[in-house]
Chain A
Amino acid sequence: MIDWQPLLLTFKLAAVTTTILLCIGVPFAWWLANTRTRIKPVIEALVSMPLVLPPSVLGFYLLLAFSPEYWFGAWLDRQAGIRLAFSFEGLVVASVIFSFPFLVHPVQAAFQNLPRSLTDAARVLGKSNWQTFLRVLIPNIKPALLSGTVLAFAHTVGEFGVVLMIGGNLPNQTRVASIAIYDEVEALNYGAANFYAGVLFVLSFLILLVVYMVNRGVQK
Chain B
Amino acid sequence: MIHASISKHLHGANGDFQLEASLNIAEGEFVALFGASGVGKTTLLRCIAGLEQPEQGSIVVRGETWLDSAARLNLPPQQRRVGYMFQDYALFPNMTVRGNLEFALRKGTDQKRINELLELMALGELQHRKPDSLSGGQKQRVALARALASEPRLLLLDEPFSALDAEMRSRLHDEILRLQKHFGITTVIVSHDVSEVCKLTSRVMMMEAGRIVQQGRPVEVFSAGQTSGKFRFTGEILAIESMDVMFSLTVLVGNQIVRVVAMPDEAAKLHVGERVMLVSKAFNPMVLKLEQ
Binding site for B on A (CB under 8 A): 115, 117-118, 120-128, 135-136, 139-140
Contacts and interface: CB of A to CB of B under 8 A. Distances in A.
Contacts of B84: 120-121, 124
B92 interface: yes
Contacts of B104: 125
Decide if the interface of chain A is mainly helix, strand, loop or mixed: helix
B86 A123 contact: no
A115 B89 CA distance: 10
A118 B78 contact: no
A136 B94 contact: yes
Q: Is the interface of B mostly helix, strand, loop or mixed?
A: loop
B285 to A, nearest CB: 44
Contacts of A125: 103-104, 146, 150
Given A123-B50, A127-B103, A136-B94, 15 more contacts: A115-B88, A117-B86, A118-B90, A118-B92, A120-B77, A120-B86, A120-B90, A121-B84, A121-B92, A123-B77, A124-B49, A124-B50, A126-B81, A135-B103, A140-B94
**Which range contains the number of B residues in contact with the other chain?**
20 to 34
B186 to A, nearest CB: 16
Interface in B94-125: 94, 103-104, 106
A121 B90 contact: yes
A121 to B, nearest CB: 4
A119 to B, nearest CB: 9
Nearest to B158: A117
Nearest to A116: B90
Contact of B78 (A117, A127, A139): A127
Contacts of A126: 78-79, 81, 106, 150
Contacts of A135: 103
B82 interface: yes
Contacts of B86: 117, 120-121
A65 B144 CA distance: 57
B258 interface: no
Which residue of A115, A120, A126, A128 has the most chain B CB atoms within 10 A of its CB atom? A126
A123 B51 contact: yes
Which one of B49, B93, B94, B106 has the greatest number of beta carbons of chain A within 10 Å?
Answer: B94
Contacts of A115: 88, 90
21 contacts: A115-B90, A117-B87, A117-B90, A120-B51, A120-B84, A120-B86, A120-B90, A123-B50, A123-B76, A123-B78, A124-B77, A124-B83, A124-B84, A125-B146, A125-B150, A126-B79, A126-B150, A127-B103, A136-B92, A139-B94, A140-B94
